[in-house]
Structure 1
Amino acid sequence: MKRILAICLVLVIGFESISWAQSPFTYPDSLLVIQEGIASYYGVRFHNRRTANGEVYNMREFTAAHKHLPFGTLVKVTNQKNGLQAIVRINDRLPQNSKRIIDLSKGVAQHLEMVNDGIVAVKLSLLSASAVEWLRDQYNTVPQDIRLRSYYPEISVKKDEQELTKIKKKVF
């Protein structure tokens, strides 16, 4: 009978700890934010010209230029003025001396309702924890203006032999 109760207790405690576990996909969005700053857009003047990755720029597509994010990276852009969001693909480069963090296509600017403003404050976020790990692997040295946070905190435990001995004596 005691064994059955012990097994039930272990199962209940085990299932409770599983329900308290945090999935990396349900982490708050703030952990996925990699950059905050000013965004602008470019449109008609660059329409049908080649981008830095070689494709033809279409001002209606959801694409963007960034200083150093790898081509093809998907980034969620949030307009901090009104909270509107869009997912864009990086396909072009900004000049290294630019004070902006991203240039968006005109289609994205219209979606974010920033065409009249021209420039707005934005947050750039990755879409998942695995995207953070993938992006971290793309760099030899992560640029200082990008935050790539780890989802799994490093835990270190110092083994104290005296404390372990005391605990063993109390238990047994």
Structure 2
Amino acid sequence: MTAIDSAAVAAITAPHLLYAFIWFMPDLWRKLFPKPIRAFQLSASILKVLQALAFFEWYSVKSREEGLKLDLLKVPIGQWGAFFLLVFLGQVLNIAVYRLLGEKGVYYGSKLGKKVAWQKGFPFNIISHPQYVGAVLTIAGPLALVWGQAPRGTVTLMGYWAALYVITAIQEQFL
């Protein structure tokens, strides 16, 4: 594994380590931050930006190493359709979760001492862990777009990224 591979894996993993830390040690998080939900939101947002930047840097470096140049004009219409559909569905789920749960619900308010009502409406009435399913669909969208023009390791790295959401969902469901 190269340095750029390690950096990308670390950046992609970081938000999930934050989620696990807060999930398993909410009292410590509350002691560290007087506004724990706001601190979680800010920390998660920063880590998400770093995650995306690290992935794009990895993709750029690997593409240059392999002499690849993404030509969006050569992407078949079906791949464009898959891209837009996956990202659209992913974001519909994410937005619906945020609208239903609000900041307190999305950022583990129930673990951080806030009352969060249990929700059964859309999208929770059609799928378990809709926010994480939405994230995975959103990750799959760009993968569909670059399919056939991406450097080696792209599917593996994005699969790892998706697997982290599965692990986080299992952690929240059973632990």
Regarding TM over 0.5, the answer is no
Flag the structure with higher strand content: 1
Task: Identify the structure with the greater helix proportion.
Answer: 2
User: Computing the radius of gyration over CA atoms, which structure comes out larger, 1 or 2?
Assistant: 1
TM range (shorter): under 0.3
- The TM-score normalised by the length of structure 1 is 0.24
Q: Quick one: higher RCO (CA 8 Å, sep 6+), 1 or 2?
A: 2
